[in-house]
Amino acid sequence: MEFKANWVRPARDLGDVCPVFKKEWRLIKPLKAAELFLTARGVYEARINGKRVSGYVLAPGWTSYEKRLQVQRYDVTELLQEDNILTVTVGRGWMRSPMPGFVESEDKKRRVAQPCGLWGELHLLYEDGGREILAADETWEYGESGVRFSEIYDGEHYDAAFETPVWENVIKADFPTDNLIMQEGEEIRETERIGAKSVFKTPAGETVVDFGQEITGYVEFCVEAKEGDRIHILHGEVLDKNGNFYRDNYRDAKAEIQYICKEGRQTYHPVLTFFGFRYLKLEEFPKEAGPEQFTAVVVCSNLKKTGHLSCSDPDLNQLFSNIFWGQKGNFLDIPTDCPQRDERLGWTGDAQVFVKTASYNYDVEKFFTKWLHDMAADQRKDGGIGHVIPACLPGEESSAAWGDAAVICPWQIYQTYGNKQILEEQFECMKKWVDYITGTTTVPYLWTGGEHFGDWLGLDAPSGSYKGSSREEFIATAFYAHSTELLIKAAKVLGKDVGEYERLYENIVKAFRENYPEYLTQTEHILAVHFRLAKDLQKTADDLAGMIKRDGSQIRTGFVGTPYILHVLSEYGHSDLAYTLFLRKEYPSWLFSVKQGATTIWEHWDGIMENGDFWSTDMNSFNHYAYGSVADWVYEKAAGIRPLEEYPGFQKVLIKPMADRRLKWLEASVDTRNGKVASKWICTPEGIRYEIETAVPAVIEIGDKKMEAAPGKYTFWS
């Protein structure tokens, strides 16, 4: 589609104030249809005749803007009348906020200094067949809006009594248009609303609102006030051990709302930013506040829920809830690491460890496709992949298990949804990543040199380290092998000749075995088995089980080892131990945070320690989804629902549940591209009953029984 619009911008700098753009027009004859095409340098809210043009919030979303800036298309036919006004308020958004907050760079200064801009066209189709296009040009106007400040980290300031005093003509802006693409990702939407559970006074005398659930989004409040009354709200995730409001872990993010009231009853929520929070501290609020005045509005990518997990243990059910909430909170247009502090970035390592769970919980094909396109756009010329996508950490090295998202994520999306288009579109990016490792290593067939995150936040880390005790070059070489193997698989799906990479893979495996005959940590054992690099997989898995028992039947792993630990144990005859780790409630465990009152997944196993103190203030998110990757073990091993690799998209499945009598029952289901697959087991005095329902052909294994099954319902006993 060809467009006529120019970029336009305010003729003068408005400072912190968000500009509002305006176009007025009159319909001259009966209208048949109207479409609005719009994007901005920042995030925008568009209204026609006072009504929002769509439920899409924080448009145009976050992409690698200099290469890919999404344009939204709205059907606005029903909003038009004889006389019309289009208004578009534009905030800094991701493009022009100081992101990330913890790094200072010339590139960041450049991005923050960028001017605001608006691009848009209104296409009018009349009943007589005539067409008219109202494209952004110098006839459009701008002025100051009531949004006096808006930014991703620091929040929003709004003056409800403010009315734009002066409208001026915009000027054309020489911003590029060759980077404009039509909307590609999921829309960001307000998906749920949660009423406040209580308003209370803390021991320190603070007035705090509790929603009972950590969310990503913003608060909507209603208040009866006088013009000029002020409201000041701070956001927080947790209370301290004394029950007082706590927000030191937000670091430099102010995460605040400042609101100047108009006269009378009024309702407000921010529109150009978002927060991660469970609690609000009311620094200023007219009169005494009640819970009925506050609603938490959940904002995330508009994803269809496809997975279900439930069991007889209330603590595990809370864990499952935390995993789903963690995904919702961090799947806000990109897979972020956290939604609250001065970060909120698309960390590649977090995304790759969680992508399987993510794709079972929700339909994320479109979501990941858009993000992976940004990854390909931001890939360096040498093939390196940044730690975060969209890239905003210039000059960084590429790390094993982080950059490998370039290969792991598209392969998993193909496996879950069966659409090889993702492999076609990402193949060059995948190949360039493997070539990058080959070209930068200091020792052929190993990955040596460079800087890596290691087994990030591993519990076996030496004092003062975040990286765990697993050897960084061990991890790097293991992922070198894994990515090369997945690249070969992708090539075969696409009918490409990759003999060169098959030979490379053989040499990597050989070099790995020669250089790493022994494994020193839980994570080293796990990778050697899960990536099939050890000479004796069963012995290595047995050694892992022995090491875990000697460690007190505790996990000692971090971001790299944790996603695979239960899989390895279950696949090699140690499902009892896998369940022991899964059901453990003492620190360290998945259920420790549940017992501490968590409603989302934590960044650290002990974000709040056993004595009630905090792990730290500098890096301690309480909504960080990576460790929620345990859910894919629940789907695939505990409930036993596994897609067969040769039948991508769940065209045919293996159903092989692994029950444990420490639970009375467990059930899971996945609504796949080819139909729903569900598995449940119930422990009874007579034995274990298995209830299977599958809409696709399946291989069912229950104990010693194995059968080919057509779609249908089945019951087995063991």
Where in the sequence numbering do the catalytic residues fall? 343, 603
Rounded-to-integer distance, Cα 569 and Cα 642, Å: 16
Region at 374 (left for phi over 0; alpha for psi -120 to 50; beta for the rest): alpha
Count of Cβ atoms closer than 10 Å to residue 606 Cβ: 17
Q: Are 191 and 331 in contact, with CB atoms under 8 Å apart?
A: no
Kindly state the tokens that stand for 20: 């509002």
Kindly state the tokens that stand for 519: 């494994």
| Closest of 182, 180, 187 to residue 65, by C-alpha | 180
CA distances from 322 to 56, 329, 480, 637 (A): 25, 10, 32, 20
| Closest of 43, 21, 268, 270 to residue 144, by C-alpha | 21
Q: Which residues of 367-376 are buried (b: 16+ CB within 10 A; e: fewer)?
A: bbbbbbbbbb
Q: Are strands 245-246 and 307-311 parallel, antiparallel or unpaired?
A: unpaired
Q: Are 623 and 216 in contact, with CB atoms under 8 Å apart?
A: yes
Cis previous bond, 648, omega within 30: no
Rounded-to-integer distance, Cα 717 and Cα 700, Å: 13
Q: What is the DSSP string of 336-349?
A: -S-SSSS----BHH
Q: Tokens 């995460």 belong to which residue?
A: 255
Strand arrangement of the beta sheet that strand 43-48 belongs to:
51-52, 43-48, 83-91, 19-26, 141-144, 168-169
Rounded-to-integer distance, Cα 376 and Cα 371, Å: 9
| Closest of 658, 644, 655, 679 to residue 571, by C-alpha | 658
Kindly state the tokens that stand for 358: 């993510």
Kindly state the tokens that stand for 335: 């897979």
